[in-house]
Chains A and B, each alone.
Chain A
Amino acid sequence: MTTTAPPTNETTSTTPRMRRWVQRHGWTTGVWITLFILVVWYATLIPKFGSFQVANIINGGTSWVFLAAAQAVVVIAGGIDLGVGGMLVLTSAAGAQYMEGQPFGVIILIAIAIFLGAMILNGLVGWVISVSKVPDIVVTLGSLYIFQGLALMILPKVGGGSSGAFRWLFTGSETGISSNPWPAIVVITIPIAIVAWWVGRTRSGLSIYALGSDPNAAFLSGVDARRTKIVSYAVAGGLSAIAGFSSLAISGVGNATTVGGNLTLNSVAAIVLGGVALTGGIGSLIAAVPAAIILFFFNPILSALGVNPNYAQVIQGVLIVLVMMVAGLLEWRRRRLK
């Protein structure tokens, strides 16, 4: 890290600013650079690297990105939402059940309805946490089961579907397989940019950081803890719904037996890799995006290396632990330097 160089006399005016920048954005930048290096490395590993591979990574990574963003919002607010994976399964099952055979206009209306429904449902989870004062992890453990069960009620068997235009929106092709990453890039960028702006620049968004870093200080400075909690969960619900739409568009059918718990665990791993502190109040949404793509990206890279997919999972686990150890070490050194 460049920040540890002792400040010399002529740079005293720029070094603290730089140090602050590195402290604020260092991790985010590092994750983006890691992703970039991985992409370049991957390109040299496989015989042909073109738009098809790029589209594959981005399309497949879309639902991971949204689930990670959903988890990031809740964790920054000082909670944790084990139910996001269940919400993904529920929204994709609902989409598959009600969208099949409808014209595109109606599908968009249904998608909006599901999106709003997801926000309300997960907002309700936030309300329950706030009123009952049961820890987040316990309430969302319950909501994970409930969402998964509701998904099975709506779509008892694998099936249903969406439409070609809907699938194009998330994958750049009506069949779900394409060389066109642009629709997915737009679909990722716009909602993430809106939520990142909301979290970083608005009063209600910043109160999420306040609540997550110190609930008492937040209360004393006029943050409505209950409202903030509910809003953070509602936003997470909406983002999980977009993740659900993306996974529906890619697979083409709904499957309510997908294990939502595993998806949740991926989202937790992604935000930790993205530098969001599980203790709340620290981290950024933007860093969760490349981190989620990196996690998704592990599998194609390791298979390009000829690693058996089972060992790929082992390596992924070991890498996550190593990253956490390095992060812990850096944090410990930073605190000692202070």
Chain B
Amino acid sequence: MTQQITDSGSQVPDDPQKASLGRRIAARPQLVLIGVLVLLIGVTFLIQPTYLIRDGSFTFAGLRNSLLFAVPIGILAAGQTTLMLTGGIDLSIAMIATASAYVTANQSPQGAVVAIILGIVVGLLAGTANGVGVGVFRVNPLIMTLAMSGILLGLFTQWATTIFAGSTRMPDFVVTLGQGTLWDIIPYAAIVWAAVAAIIVLMLRRTGFGRNLYALGDNLIASRLAGIRSWQVLVAVYALSGVLGAIAGILMGGRIGAVDLQLAGFLLLPSVAAAVIGGTSIFGGVGTYTGTIIGALILGVLQSMLTFLNAGEAVQQVLYGSIVLGLSWVYAAMSRSQ
């Protein structure tokens, strides 16, 4: 907001050659993000050489771990990205993920397919409720999803000892999906993420629904005058976010093997951070999912690095916060010089 004021002042580039290089980079900010990603991988390698090289030869083990960290963040951040494009946010997505995983684990005796479908239905219902609150009743998204998070936490804390008192173990199929790898290189979870990513990217770029998201976030009134039924779009996109939350939660549960109510809560802020680092504006209308994917990968590598540093929870949190802050600062500076 303050940007408008200061930007009206003149910004004369002092050195033309430098400015043109800067402009060339600024035109493709995602290249810089990839640069940051490579840099972080390099730093992690320097801290702990076994990250990339074991017994004298190259190994995927370290990168695979980082990727596994990144998968749930990336899928949750898909929800955040699509919502942020409309000027919204989903603070309940981590709780939706936990709730869905809980239901899937509980229904595992009924077979993996039924269990997964039921888990996704939970996400769909919670997301739709969010969408009705935001889209139809115009409740502020922060408040709506915050309240939804509290509601789900209360319900599932209660139900965990009553109607969902049974199994907390994930179906074997989901465990394989969460832990297994294809040809010992590509985790199945990453394949799921790739599928989700392809759908989201295509949806945002190629479908009317995707373009509506950008339009709503850019100018709600103009898009309504242009004939977009904003409430329908909002209900749909919040429902989509709920489903994405469910997928992330089920994969997360599969990786751990069993569920509890603290399963995904710690992923909420990283999911927002991934979208923001990837260049999605929290005010709506600007952003891409490809940027978010790189953001999630950066956070995944960062998690590996912090684990190797063995610095303890305290230093990890300070570093994590500082890096998220630093990256978004750099990104903001670059997109302004564009």
Contact = CB atoms under 8 A, between A and B. Distances in A.
A78 B317 contact: no
Interface string B259-303: 000000000110011001000011100000000000000000000
Contact of A156 (B4, B151, B314): B314
B143 A219 contact: no
Contact of A328 (B138, B282, B324): B138
A216 B4 contact: yes
B22 interface: no
Interface residues of A, number: 52
A146 B318 CA distance: 4
A226 B1 CA distance: 11
Interface in A258-285: 261, 265, 268-269, 272, 278
A225 B2 contact: yes
Given A130-B2, A137-B282, A215-B5, A146 B317 contact: yes
Nearest to A130: B2
Size category, B interface: 35 or more
Contacts of A141: 269, 272-273, 276, 321, 324
B320 interface: yes
Nearest to A137: B282
Interface stretch (B112-120, B173-181, B326-334): B326-334
Given A78-B1, A215-B1, A135 B143 contact: no
A226 B2 contact: yes
Interface in B101-132: none
A145 B324 contact: yes
B315 A314 contact: no
Interface string A26-45: 00000000000000000000
B39 interface: no
Contacts of A133: 2-3, 6, 332, 336
Contacts of B52: none
A130 B5 CA distance: 11
A314 B150 contact: yes
Interface string B125-162: 00000000100011110111011111101110110000
Nearest to A147: B321
Given A316-B150, A324-B144, A153 B158 contact: no
A318 interface: yes
A310 interface: yes
B325 interface: yes
Contact of A216 (B5, B91, B153): B5
Contacts of B272: 137-138, 141
A317 B5 contact: no
A278 B89 CA distance: 14
A150 B318 CA distance: 7
A156 B317 CA distance: 13
Interface string A142-158: 11111011111100100
A144 B146 contact: no
Contact of A318 (B5, B91, B140, B151): B151
Contacts of A321: 133, 139, 143-144, 147
B335 to A, nearest CB: 10
B337 to A, nearest CB: 12
A278 B3 CA distance: 19
Given A321-B144, A321-B147, A153 B137 contact: no
Chain A to chain B: the 9 pairs with minimum beta-carbon distance, closest first: A145-B321, A149-B317, A313-B154, A142-B325, A152-B314, A149-B318, A310-B158, A317-B151, A146-B321
Interface of A: 78, 80, 128, 130, 132-135, 137-139, 141-146, 148-153, 156, 215-216, 219, 225-226, 229, 256, 261, 265, 268-269, 272, 278, 308, 310-314, 316-318, 320-321, 324-325, 328, 332
Interface of B: 1-6, 91, 133, 137-140, 142-144, 146-151, 153-155, 157-158, 268-269, 272-273, 276, 281-283, 312-322, 324-325, 328-329, 332-333, 336
13 contacts: A141-B273, A142-B322, A142-B328, A143-B321, A148-B321, A149-B314, A149-B319, A215-B4, A313-B153, A316-B150, A318-B147, A320-B143, A332-B138
